[in-house]
Structure 1
Amino acid sequence: EAWDDYTRQRVQLYQEYETQCQRESVVDFAELLLRSYELLERNEPLRRHYQRRFRHILVDEFQDTNRLQYRWLRLFADEGREGGAAMFCVGDDDQSIYRFRGAEVGNMRDFEREFRVQNVIRLEQNYRSHSNILDAANAIIRHNSNRLGKNLWTDQGAGEPIRVFEAFSDGDEARWIVEEIQSLVRDGALRSEIALLYRSNAQSRVLEHQLFSAGIPYRVYGGLRFFERQEIKHALAYLRLIANPDDDTSFARVVNFPTRGIGARSLEVLTDAARVYNTSLYATVPHLTGKPGTSLAQFVRLVEDLRRDTASLPLPELVDHVLDLSGLRAHYKADKEGRERLENLDELINAAANFLAESQVDAEVLAQPHALLADFLSHASLEAGDHQADQGADAVQLMTVHSAKGLEFNVVFLSGLEEGLFPHENSILETDGLEEERRLMYVAVTRARERLYLSFAQSRMLHGQTRYNLRSRFLEEIPPELTKWLTPPNPRSAAGGAMGGMGGGYFKPSSAPQVQRAPRPAFATLPNGLRIGQSVSHAKFGQGVIVAAEGSGADAKVQINFGPAGVKWLLLAVAKLEPV
């Protein structure tokens, strides 16, 4: 029984979906499994027929089966009783990483118990990786409970130590990775044998930017480059309409996204009128009457409002404002699968902030946000580019850890090893979530044949904000004799001590007393006559009080408590703060 409006709506939608499927006599894959199970369960002659027909059943990737699949197999084999089919199951419970798709790692343990398996064969010799890598993987996964248990080994020798790098920021981390890749390539390594792994798709943006800037060909395996992703293209289309309302391609892309009741017929009428008047789609709208004219006029007003409201905002805040007012954020928040797309949208704000920091623009350009926006859009188009040639080239491979399963590379960089990112912050709140993250780490480590790099950053721009991070607990689970730190280990960034044993992830800048920062030059007197404790006004966040400051020159930033709007870190070169 549904106890809330959201669940009631889901039940209603499912009932309507089921009615439609029955009307058309179709089933989806999950329903196909369910119908098969029900048929075998209720029809004993049919079940016996198939048990006699198929005397031996082989199941591969058993760790990725869901509960319904397991019940189906168990019924088919008659739970191992005489007369049922004989089953041979192959799987690795330490590589069960698809719980979000319904995979149930406990199926393997249940199978061993319920079928009274007498002979479990452990395939422990590894022919891929050197023993330093395997020993690290064994040590990490040993922290999980309820495993069937195995210990990987190899006769290929210890190999090189696992290299660990601590960066100040995600940008520094990405630059170091690119420099290391360049060094490896100079020494004869193939770029196609180098993989950059990350926990979340949104992390690829800063890596892609540095690879692009260095002229290194790369390929995003199992996904799209950052600026090719659907939600980023939608956001850029809105931004292009702000910079140039006569951009017909951008107009057509988002005029009805998110859906606002503008159908194909209205767009056809608009297109025909634009040919007659020889004007852009945007400029043609005032000439239309009736329902098409009314609905399209509402979209034009939205674009005009965006242009007006962002005329004085710094570039990152301009992007943030557009994501809200366009409805893109609300659209993806309502989408069950929209979390990753929201992360990418937030990363677009970071891209704008990085562009601003790297452009070194003068005050005159900063005073013209829409002109700066046009430069940013040109930069985004350049980075997106036409990368078809990279597909067959000797290109560095970028992918999430999930996409890397089943693959292997001579060199693997695993970035973003920070609490809250890997392990992911959501895993702390989910039953067995941390164990799934540890299995994901196990998969990541065992992708490397010869050389493995692990890196993390003290601060990272993620989801539209700067986070000050503790290094991942998974780093602490690797025996120190297997690692070689390329930077001096910083005990203050360790997950154990600073976390106080709490399950948790990251600290936002508002958690100032707990934040561990790398040393940065400080200033006693702030630029522009500002001072700590002073009240200031900001165009978007309103009035607040400066509570902290760090950095100097172009990197100078202040922490401001804006009350209802929260505590924010702002770059002084960008924020346009006014003393109150």
Structure 2
Amino acid sequence: MDITSLIDPLNDAQRAAVTAPNQAVLVLAGAGSGKTRVLVHRIAWQIQVEGISAHGILAVTFTNKAAREMRNRLEDLLEHSVHTMWIGTFHGLAHRLLRRHAKQAKLPDTFQVMDSADQLRVIKRLVAGMNLDETKWPPKQIQWYINAQKDEGKRAKHQLETGDVFQRQMLAVYRAYEEICDRSGLVDFAELLLRAHELLRDNADLLEFYQQRFLRVHVDEFQDTNTIQYAWLRLLTDGKDNLFVVGDDDQSIYGWRGARIENIFSFQQHYPNHQVIKLEQNYRSTGNILKAANKVISVNEARMGKELWTDAGEGELISLYAAFNELDEAYFVVDRIKAWVNEGGLRSDAAILYRSNAQSRQFEEKLMATGTPYRVYGGLRFFERAEIKNALAYLRLMSNRDDDASFERVINTPTRGLGAKAIDDIRLIAKDQSMSLWSAAITLLKQKPMTPRAKNALVGFLELIDRLSTQAEGLELHEKVQMVNEQSGLIELYKNEKGDRGEEKLENLDELINAARLFDGGQENEENLNELDLFLAHASLEAGDMQGEEFEDCVQLMTLHSAKGLEFKLVFLVGMEEGLFPSQQSSDDIARLEEERRLCYVGMTRAMRQLYLTYAESRRIYGKESYPRPSRFLREIPAECIQEVRMRATVSRPQATAKPIDLIAQGRQFKLGQRVGHSKFGEGVVLQMEGEGAQERAQINFKQAGVKWLMLSYAQLEAL
């Protein structure tokens, strides 16, 4: 048998993974090390060499795109169809299983799958039916709670009642939600996985059938699996040791949505007869980029350990730019992209990566000003984001009461007790009497009876807009925006939204204030419009211009989370500051800090040829001017990998700019984020370092004693 095509294109480690004997195998595949090739060739090897039928192979991925790519590459390699092989996402395969065995899964044959939006609508109706106040019990927070419980394999009946009011109410809603779904034959995404697991767990004959059918089970991106996904895999492979997983503990960055890096470590206990194979040869980045990324990620303690390398040469040094402020940072990045394009580079080979979506606005603005097409990958442009549109709608109504689109957008955002009937009545009056919705609302109050709740809500809304308009007189533009954010209820709405999404929306609202503060419409004001109207026009124009299509040559903007799996010749990792990256919330939590460091590692390893790291000496964030310290991740990069770059002054340096920190200095006794021990206070984490020599001191968060500043010359700290 000629197996040249199967193993000849592989390096030694890849070949070892592809030809490994039938046992549990964990392939630790570093960034850019060819994990998809290994998976495809492994399956081809099993079909062509081991004689396993495609019918007996299961392959699980996390996206439909990855599943299609794997199938196409496999068929190209084998030169025949593998249509009988089960290959797809966890949700897709679970759905397939439930369709085949709906009765045993206690589902009607006609059960319907709800997407996230459908699920939220069901929860909103449920909340209304239970007479719960949406401001206290936001439907999105309930949705997050229910899905999180299911991802952990927990039904409402499994939860113990406690004295906690929040937990008790959430549990009551969860029970009611399950009853509605069961009665209506509805299945949400999280339910697909949980129900499929229960189907196999509770039906021994069915489990045995699929265990015998799937002789080989393969999993891509194993580090991103959650509790129920791993439990499902363990059921299928129980006692078989036929699980082949590919993942990278150093790229586990989705803990906030349920992914458990612990699954990689648990794999070795659950499958004692296992083999670990490391793919460390990188085919993407230069030696300098890999050396820096290796050093940064090596600071993490919760990792299995590997060292990426390349035979493609050292390449250019990583460039570090200290900007005066966020404006200077954006000018610098766009200027370098222009130089890249002028030298023959493609715009689509350049990517700007940031920790928070709110950071995109400055770069969008500068790219538009220079006529550079761009695309926000995996997200919306700044002025197209829902929370920004909501705030702008309030501002537009303040300026023009007859703006029907804005009226419809915010009349019940946040919810204020207006039902669908009242809003329909307003629309009907507006249509019949050819008037604006605002005028129709006033007419409705005068001419038609309404429930007291609806009437009070509508009066309150109209009075709110009038009050905002009156209070805005004499205020600066950014003060008007800040007032709207606060008094409209939008800030309170997003504070109640569970998880990172709510925080992200609050950050975007803060960035809208910054946009208003920096707005200068003087040159555009040929019509002598007021500043608010100019700003609103500016927002509309920015929302609809310069956004490139997928097929166009345009600069790529994205969050670091969205960048995973992608690669670019030129990468800018921006906003490298304490409190921004790593985020403020992670600074005193070892697990979250290590995930932030993995995120930095992912960002650095997206770069193929050139990597720029930037930070600002001053930045306006959360509505305030701050002077952040450069990110600890910068200090973890070896000095020999970095060159500091300068740019001609394009933005005036702030008068109170903090003195730049020497990032290359390696003289500290301890590192930020390092675990230390103290004879009196016990174990802690280093939060900050200040001073030099005998005056060097550290701020440490001790588990038992809390946060304390200690002089290192006296503290006698021990590195753990």
Deviation digits for residues 11-40 of structure 1 (CA, Å, limit 9, x no counterpart):
222121112122223333333333333443
Instruction: Give the aligned residue type for 1:347.
Output: E
Pairwise CA RMSD of aligned residues?
2.9
Deviation digits for residues 276-305 of structure 1 (CA, Å, limit 9, x no counterpart):
544322234332222277653332211101
User: Could you tell me which residue of structure 1 aligns to residue 50 of structure 2?
Assistant: none
User: Could you tell me which residue of structure 2 aligns to residue 195 of structure 1?
Assistant: 351
Instruction: Give the aligned residue type for 2:632.
Output: R
Distance 1:389 1:175, change over 3 A: closer
Aligned equivalent of 1:150, options 281, 306, 312: 306
2:530 is equivalent to residue 353 of structure 1: no
User: Could you tell me which residue of structure 2 aligns to residue 300 of structure 1?
Assistant: 462
2:417 is equivalent to residue 261 of structure 1: yes
Q: Is the 8 A contact 2:548 2:554 kept in 1?
A: no
User: Could you tell me which residue of structure 1 aligns to residue 272 of structure 2?
Assistant: 116
Post-superposition offset of 1:506: 13
Q: TM-score if structure 2 supplies the norm length?
A: 0.65
Tell me the SS of whatever aligns to 2:565: coil
Distance 1:359 1:97, change over 3 A: farther
Post-superposition offset of 1:178: 1.0
Aligned equivalent of 2:208, options 17, 27, 48: 48
Aligned equivalent of 2:389, options 230, 233, 245: 233
Moved more, 303-312 or 268-277: 268-277
Q: Is the 8 A contact 2:629 2:661 kept in 1?
A: no
User: Could you tell me which residue of structure 2 aligns to residue 323 of structure 1?
Assistant: 485
Tell me the SS of whatever aligns to 2:311: coil
Tell me the SS of whatever aligns to 1:120: strand
Post-superposition offset of 1:218: 0.6
Post-superposition offset of 1:397: 0.3
Post-superposition offset of 1:261: 3.0
Aligned equivalent of 1:215, options 366, 371, 376: 371
Q: Is the 8 A contact 1:418 1:456 kept in 2?
A: yes
Instruction: Give the aligned residue type for 1:411.
Output: L
Instruction: Give the aligned residue type for 1:491.
Output: I
Identity value in percent: 50
Post-superposition offset of 1:199: 0.5
Q: Is the 8 A contact 1:419 1:505 kept in 2?
A: no
Deviation digits for residues 179-204 of structure 1 (CA, Å, limit 9, x no counterpart):
11111111111111100000011111
Post-superposition offset of 1:493: 7.4
> Counterparts of 1:483-494 in structure 2 under 5 Å?
483-487=642-646, 490-491=660-661
2:629 is equivalent to residue 470 of structure 1: yes
Instruction: Give the aligned residue type for 1:271.
Output: R
Instruction: Give the aligned residue type for 1:424.
Output: S
User: Could you tell me which residue of structure 2 aligns to residue 544 of structure 1?
Assistant: none
> Counterparts of 1:255-294 in structure 2 under 5 Å?
255-288=411-444, 289=447, 290-291=449-450
Moved more, 439-448 or 482-491: 482-491
CA distance in 2: counterparts of 1:74 and 1:280, whole angstroms: 60
Q: Is the 8 A contact 2:201 2:235 kept in 1?
A: yes
CA distance in 1: counterparts of 2:457 and 2:687, whole angstroms: 47
CA distance in 2: counterparts of 1:131 and 1:261, whole angstroms: 60
User: Could you tell me which residue of structure 2 aligns to residue 567 of structure 1?
Assistant: none
Q: Is the 8 A contact 1:467 1:506 kept in 2?
A: no
User: Could you tell me which residue of structure 2 aligns to residue 314 of structure 1?
Assistant: 476
Tell me the SS of whatever aligns to 2:519: helix
2:639 is equivalent to residue 480 of structure 1: yes
User: Could you tell me which residue of structure 2 aligns to residue 73 of structure 1?
Assistant: 233
Distance 1:503 1:329, change over 3 A: farther
2:544 is equivalent to residue 385 of structure 1: yes
Distance 1:182 1:253, change over 3 A: same
CA distance in 2: counterparts of 1:2 and 1:138, whole angstroms: 46
CA distance in 2: counterparts of 1:42 and 1:276, whole angstroms: 60
CA distance in 2: counterparts of 1:391 and 1:91, whole angstroms: 28
CA distance in 1: counterparts of 2:327 and 2:518, whole angstroms: 9
User: Could you tell me which residue of structure 2 aligns to residue 170 of structure 1?
Assistant: 326
Tell me the SS of whatever aligns to 2:587: helix
Q: How many residues align?
A: 498
Q: Is the 8 A contact 1:419 1:506 kept in 2?
A: no
Distance 1:252 1:30, change over 3 A: closer
Instruction: Give the aligned residue type for 1:249.
Output: A
Tell me the SS of whatever aligns to 2:169: helix
> Counterparts of 1:357-372 in structure 2 under 5 Å?
371-372=530-531
Instruction: Give the aligned residue type for 1:177.
Output: V
Q: TM-score if structure 1 supplies the norm length?
A: 0.80
Tell me the SS of whatever aligns to 1:197: strand
CA distance in 2: counterparts of 1:113 and 1:422, whole angstroms: 34
Instruction: Give the aligned residue type for 2:571.
Output: V
Post-superposition offset of 1:9: 2.2
User: Could you tell me which residue of structure 2 aligns to residue 422 of structure 1?
Assistant: 581
Q: Give 4+ residue runs of structure 1 displaced > 6 Å after superposition.
A: 492-500
Post-superposition offset of 1:96: 0.7
CA distance in 1: counterparts of 2:387 and 2:669, whole angstroms: 37
Distance 1:160 1:355, change over 3 A: same
Distance 1:460 1:11, change over 3 A: same
CA distance in 1: counterparts of 2:664 and 2:631, whole angstroms: 8
Post-superposition offset of 1:360: 9.1
Instruction: Give the aligned residue type for 1:126.
Output: N
Q: Is the 8 A contact 1:197 1:401 kept in 2?
A: yes
User: Could you tell me which residue of structure 1 aligns to residue 604 of structure 2?
Assistant: 445
What residue ranges of structure 1 are gaps of 5+ in the alignment? 508-513, 515-580
CA distance in 2: counterparts of 1:94 and 1:446, whole angstroms: 11
Aligned equivalent of 1:333, options 495, 499, 513: 495
Post-superposition offset of 1:504: 4.5
Post-superposition offset of 1:359: 5.0
CA distance in 1: counterparts of 2:286 and 2:536, whole angstroms: 45
Moved more, 103-112 or 29-38: 29-38
Distance 1:355 1:493, change over 3 A: farther
CA distance in 2: counterparts of 1:341 and 1:122, whole angstroms: 39
Deviation digits for residues 210-257 of structure 1 (CA, Å, limit 9, x no counterpart):
111222111000000000001111110100111122212211211121
Q: Is the 8 A contact 1:470 1:493 kept in 2?
A: no
